[in-house]
Structure 1
Amino acid sequence: MTVQRLIHASSNGDRWSLARDAGADRDAVHILHEPAAASGGRPARIGLASFLAGNPDAPERRALVDLVGTLVEAAPVTAAAPEAGAAAAEPSPGEEAV
């Protein structure tokens, strides 16, 4: 079963959706590109890394980045105190250990 959320529809009829295939083994998240019917192209699955590595000015890429940004706005993360006995992170070069 595939669920999808439209992230961008171009004026020429191309559509890009964030999609997830819910399978027995794992969920696979990808971009589903559905070309305009007039182009005669076939739908294509694009991996998230490949999609995000594309043209940073492409409206469909900007739409995905904006969508991800809303997740940060909706649920800000606050720093929690480390659990008792948790190992501390190694200091960065040039940083003193406390």
Structure 2
Amino acid sequence: MSLDTRQLYESSTGDSWHLVRDNDSGEVFVRHLANKASGGSVRDVGLGVFLTLGRDGPEHQEVWRLISSLIPRAD
């Protein structure tokens, strides 16, 4: 499996969220890596599900910022 990743956000506690594309299937998802104190678990969430989970967290705000950057500004 070939993956491309881009870190979206890393919290002050060491949790991090990454936007991931599986180059074989074309699937795009968000990968949450918990910090070591929380067990270091990895959780993959489909992009659609992730977007419905909320807009308040900085990791969500970064995904929305990236999406909005795809639309050119009208000058």
Structures share fold, TM-score greater than 0.5 = yes
Q: Which residue of 1 aligns with 2:9?
A: 8
Root-mean-square deviation (Å)? 1.3
Residue in 1 that maps onto 2:28: 29
Unaligned 5+ runs, structure 2: none
Q: 1:43-69 CA distances to partner (integer Å, 9 max, x unpaired)?
A: 111011111111221111011101111
Q: What is the DSSP-based 3-state SS (H/G/I as helix, E as strand, rest coil) of the residue aligned with 1:72?
A: coil
The CA distance in 1 between the partners of 2:54 and 2:20, in whole Å, is 20
- 5+ residue gaps, structure 1, are 77-98
TM-score (norm: length of structure 1):
0.68
Shift of 1:40: 0.4
Which structure dedicates a bigger proportion of its chain to strand? 2
Identity within the alignment, %: 33
| Higher Cα radius of gyration | 1
Q: How does 1:10-89 map to 2 (within 5 A)?
A: 10-23=11-24, 26-73=25-72
1:39 deviates by 0.8
Q: Distance in 2 between matches of 1:36 and 1:60?
A: 15
TM-score (norm 2): 0.86
* Shift of residue 41, structure 1, vs aligned partner: 3.8
Q: How many residues align?
A: 72
- Structure 1 runs of 4+ with >6 Å offset: none
Q: Which has the higher contact order (CA 8 A, sep 6+)?
A: 2
3-state SS in 1 of match to 2:6: strand
In 1, Cα distance between equivalents of 2:29 and 2:52: 13
